[in-house]
């Protein structure tokens, strides 16, 4: 969150009559952030190494506390997903995923007795956990946390194929690739795209609705930062009980207020090419 | 060469291939059958390795550990158990247990090697393991510790076996102690490989490392009784009073350990039933797809029947003990299977309530997997039958008649040799000195 610097002594009192509703809300949000009841502050405590600091402080203080820079992350706005599977196709094509495997998939949740919603689609992929169980479980350090970006990556030549990481992963994000002779998994397209200068992953750029939003959580101007740090809509992660501090955030993403947040961010829902 | 062979024969009780030539045709045919099965197993396994395991194995992305890991766990559990039970005698000095030491340590090594044969066909890149386990170790990984400690365990057991053969009881005791400590560390780490996996509630927690140690001791007691009573069938002369006493003592310990495992199993089921995460798996075991595995094999063959028969046998009826423990070995195999597979049956996304993860995930072992598992198990059987003949029933002489120049040590009950001009007391001191 980016608040302008204001010298309070030089300001003249405008009176409370001129405070708009929007400003009022912003002021309240600042208060919530500082006192720690800020909704996303709770979620962020899962992602930051320094939990207590992140939880207790608000504003820009704890932005620096993210353990990586750029701290790559993805926000999935569940309600926008239409199960077109363009992301899965793009992923398979970009990363040469064999037909028996997948790095990302879309799960379907059906509702009964709901008036507004019958079905919901939940895209899942590697959560690039800060406290990754797969990294702990690997006997030969074949899978590791990238010290710069925080991406959970594979050093294929070290993989002995014991498959412990597949079972250690609480997100079912790994499979054994016979072509690579190693476990294969999502690396946020690091090898195929990010390391070659692109800023979006294959799946996020292929998504026609903007359900997948990829970005840098350390940058307060980044859309991912803004989505995670807004307080209008709740943000959650999958399986928080495992304590893995995942970096894939979920939200419904269908509220007007979120649109308002996004409007100033040069983000267009329908045209991923310009995002 | 001939001289040293004679020497080994006398000192070690090694009778070489001659003993096999003298064996009955039926015995040789049995050994040949196991050799053929092992050969078939290794060929099918290698075929799978060349074609690619994902084409021929039944394991999937969700259930990535199948019957091979179950069989591996079965082998190493039995190996550790043999080490634990035999250590009561030759490490901690329980005299009744001493006569089984050589056979138990031999079989412990064989079971471990059999386990390695099986895991060879489960690990996708076994050759990389040898390199990167050494140059890129992850000290926080249970898998690394398990592999490394089991390697060390095997080395200790082999050295211990050498000293047992050499009649050097102080060093064999020392090695046996190290082997036991490393073996227990390795084995509890195997439990922790399962017990420290997030998102697998059926495994997660301290239960499995603890259960594995008790379960190992039970398997060890069962295995040593089975191989000893089977050896008695092969050659009735191996039984003498000391062996009879040993079987009786192990029978008592095993009865206690079966009861312990029953207790473990009861509470696993009861607590699992009230847990939201585990109840689906527990119900699959109790009433679902795995009910036959669970009730018929794990519970009936693995615990109830052997408990009843062992109590009935009073430790004297070797026929009954042989049947009880032989069937129990089958039951124990299913016990391992019932830990490995059900732990993976629930998708990690089950709690999310998505369509893809509502039901339990199915697994059926494929032909290639079964054959690769049989490869390791047949190697064990073959080595056992060969060992019984070539190593003279793991005894120096039939009936343990004290050979010339030797005597039965009053301290440890084993046979010691006196050197020239040495008294029995000097010989005992020499055999039992530490360093």
Residues A67 and A202 in one domain: yes
* Boundary of a domain, candidates A187, A206, A226: A187
How much is the average pLDDT of A65-82?
Answer: 86
Domain B23-399 has what CATH class? mainly alpha
Residues A180 and A249 in one domain: no
Which of these, B353, B194, B341, lies nearest to A239 by C-alpha position?
B353
Counting beta carbons within 10 angstroms of the beta carbon of residue B58, is it exposed (0 to 12), middle (13 to 18) or buried (19 or more)? middle
Which of these, A160, A151, A153, lies nearest to A182 by C-alpha position?
A160
Q: B101-120 vs B207-234: helix axis angle to the nearest 10?
A: 120
Looking at the domain assignment, is residue A193 inside a domain? no
- Cβ within 8 Å, pair A122-B352: yes
Residues A117 and A162 in one domain: yes
Chain B environment of A161 (Cβ under 8 Å): 123-125, 128
Looking at the domain assignment, is residue A182 inside a domain? yes
Please tell me which of A251-265, B76-90, B95-109, B409-423 the model is most confident about, judged by mean pLDDT: B76-90
- Cβ within 8 Å, pair A164-B356: no
Which of these, B203, B228, B187, lies nearest to B84 by C-alpha position?
B187
Looking at the domain assignment, is residue A220 inside a domain? yes
For chain B, the domains span 23-399, 402-435
**Residue of B73, B125, B146, B346 for testing the chain A interface, max A β-carbons within 10 Å:** B125
Q: What is the model's pLDDT at position B290? A: 87
Helix or strand run (H / E) with residue B79 = helix B67-90
Beta carbons of B384 and B393 less than 8 angstroms apart: no
Which of these, B267, B90, B260, lies nearest to B176 by C-alpha position?
B90
Q: Structural domain of residue A38, as residue ranges?
A: 19-73+198-274
Query: Is B406 in a helix, a strand, or coil?
Result: strand
Q: What is the model's pLDDT at position A273? A: 54
A122: tokens are: 């939940």
Helix or strand run (H / E) with residue B253 = helix B241-273
Sign of the dihedral through C-alpha A46, A49, A55, A57? negative
Looking at the domain assignment, is residue A86 inside a domain? no
Residues A148 and A203 in one domain: no
Integer Cα distance of A204 and A218 in angstroms:
19
- Cβ within 8 Å, pair A163-B64: yes
For the segment B140-163, what is each residue's pLDDT rounded down to a tens digit? 999 999 989 999 999 999 998 888
Residues A208 and A180 in one domain: no
ipTM over 0.90: no
**Residue of B141, B144, B146, B369 for testing the chain A interface, max A β-carbons within 10 Å:** B141
Looking at the domain assignment, is residue A230 inside a domain? yes
* Boundary of a domain, candidates A187, A211, A235: A187
Residues A178 and A206 in one domain: no
Which of these, A185, A203, A245, lies nearest to A44 by C-alpha position?
A245
**Could you say which of A107, A176, A239 has the minimum Cβ distance to residue B54?**
A176
Question: Residue B110 gets which letter from DSSP?
Answer: H
The CATH number given to whatever domain includes residue A165 is 3.30.70.20
For the segment B15-43, what is each residue's pLDDT rounded down to a tens digit? 777 777 777 888 888 889 999 999 999 99
For the segment A159-190, what is each residue's pLDDT rounded down to a tens digit? 998 999 999 999 999 999 888 889 999 999 99
Chain A environment of B198 (Cβ under 8 Å): 133, 168, 170, 242-244
Residues A183 and A122 in one domain: yes
Residues A172 and A246 in one domain: no
DSSP β-bridge partners for residue A152:
A145
Which of these, A82, A76, A79, lies nearest to A116 by C-alpha position?
A79
* Boundary of a domain, candidates A131, A158, A187: A187
- Cβ within 8 Å, pair B61-A101: yes
Question: Residue B351 gets which letter from DSSP?
Answer: G
Chain B: nearest CA to A207, how far in angstroms? 21
Domain count of the fold of chain A: 2
Which of these, B143, B153, B267, B135, lies nearest to B214 by C-alpha position?
B267
Please tell me which of A48-62, A198-212, B415-429 the model is most confident about, judged by mean pLDDT: A198-212
**A174: nearest CA in chain B?**
B61
Chain A environment of B200 (Cβ under 8 Å): 167
**A160: nearest CA in chain B?**
B125
Q: What is the model's pLDDT at position A54? A: 36
Residues A174 and A212 in one domain: no
How much is the average pLDDT of A78-98?
Answer: 90
């Amino acid at each position: 969150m980016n608040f302008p610097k204001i010298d309070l002594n030089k300001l003249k009192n405008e009176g409370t009559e001129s405070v708009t509703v929007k400003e009022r809300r912003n002021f309240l949000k600042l208060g919530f952030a500082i006192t720690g009841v800020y909704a996303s502050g709770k979620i962020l405590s899962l992602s930051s190494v320094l939990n207590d600091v992140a939880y207790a402080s608000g504003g820009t203080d704890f932005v620096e506390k993210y353990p990586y820079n750029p701290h790559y992350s993805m926000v999935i706005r569940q309600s926008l997903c239409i199960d077109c599977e363009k992301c899965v196709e793009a992923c398979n094509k970009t990363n040469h995923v064999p037909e028996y495997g997948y790095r990302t998939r879309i799960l379907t949740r059906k509702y009964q007795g709901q008036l507004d919603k019958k079905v919901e689609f939940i895209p899942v992929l590697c959560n690039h956990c800060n406290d990754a169980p797969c990294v702990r479980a690997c006997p030969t350090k074949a899978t590791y946390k990238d010290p710069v970006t925080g991406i959970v990556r594979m050093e294929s030549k070290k993989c002995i194929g014991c498959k412990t990481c597949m079972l250690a992963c609480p997100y079912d994000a790994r499979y054994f690739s016979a072509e690579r002779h190693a476990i294969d998994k999502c690396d946020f397209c690091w090898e195929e795209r990010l390391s070659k200068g692109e800023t979006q992953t294959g799946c996020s750029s292929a998504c026609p609705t903007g359900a997948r939003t990829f970005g840098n959580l350390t940058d307060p101007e980044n859309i991912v930062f803004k989505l995670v740090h807004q307080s209008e809509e709740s943000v959650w992660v999958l399986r928080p009980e495992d304590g893995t501090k995942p970096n894939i955030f979920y939200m419904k993403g269908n509220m007007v207020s979120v649109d308002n947040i996004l409007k100033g961010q040069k983000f267009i829902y329908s045209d991923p090419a310009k995002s | 060469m001939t001289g040293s062979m004679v020497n080994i024969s006398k000192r070690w009780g090694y009778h070489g291939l001659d003993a096999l030539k003298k064996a009955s045709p039926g015995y040789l045919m049995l050994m040949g059958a196991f050799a053929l099965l092992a050969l078939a197993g290794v060929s099918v396994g290698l075929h799978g390795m060349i074609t690619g395991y994902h084409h021929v194995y039944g394991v999937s992305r969700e259930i990535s550990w199948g019957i091979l890991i179950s069989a591996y766990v079965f082998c190493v559990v039995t190996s550790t158990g043999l080490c634990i039970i035999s250590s009561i005698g030759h490490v901690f000095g329980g005299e009744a247990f001493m006569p089984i030491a050589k056979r138990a340590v031999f079989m412990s090594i064989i079971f471990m090697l059999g386990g390695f044969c099986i895991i060879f066909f489960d690990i996708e890149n076994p050759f990389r393991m040898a390199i990167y386990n050494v140059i890129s170790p992850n000290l926080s990984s249970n898998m690394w510790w398990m592999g490394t400690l089991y390697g060390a365990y095997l080395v200790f057991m082999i050295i211990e076996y050498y000293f047992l053969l050499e009649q050097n009881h102080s060093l064999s005791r020392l090695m046996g102690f190290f082997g036991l400590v490393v073996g227990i560390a390795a084995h509890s780490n195997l439990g922790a490989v399962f017990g420290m996996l997030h998102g697998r509630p059926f495994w997660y927690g301290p239960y499995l490392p603890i259960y594995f140690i008790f379960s190992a001791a039970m398997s060890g007691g069962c295995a040593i009784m089975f191989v000893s009573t089977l050896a008695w069938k092969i050659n009735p002369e191996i039984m003498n009073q000391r062996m009879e006493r040993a079987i009786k003592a192990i029978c008592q310990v095993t009865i206690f350990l079966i009861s312990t495992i029953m207790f473990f199993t009861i509470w696993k089921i009861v607590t699992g039933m009230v847990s939201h995460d585990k109840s689906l798996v527990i119900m699959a075991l109790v009433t679902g797809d795995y009910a036959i595995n669970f009730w018929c094999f794990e519970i009936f063959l693995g615990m109830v029947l052997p408990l009843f028969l062992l109590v009935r046998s009073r430790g004297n009826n070797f026929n009954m003990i042989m049947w009880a423990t032989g069937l129990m070995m089958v039951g124990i195999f299913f016990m391992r299977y019932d830990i490995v597979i059900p732990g993976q049956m629930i998708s990690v996304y089950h709690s999310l309530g998505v369509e893809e993860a509502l039901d339990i995930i199915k697994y059926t072992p494929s032909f290639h997997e079964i054959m690769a598992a049989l490869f390791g198990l047949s190697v064990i059987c073959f080595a056992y039958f060969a060992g019984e003949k070539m190593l003279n029933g793991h005894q120096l002489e039939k009936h343990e008649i004290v050979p010339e120049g030797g005597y039965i040590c009053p301290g440890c009950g084993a046979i010691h040799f006196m050197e020239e001009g040495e008294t029995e007391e000097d010989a005992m001191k020499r055999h039992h000195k530490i360093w």
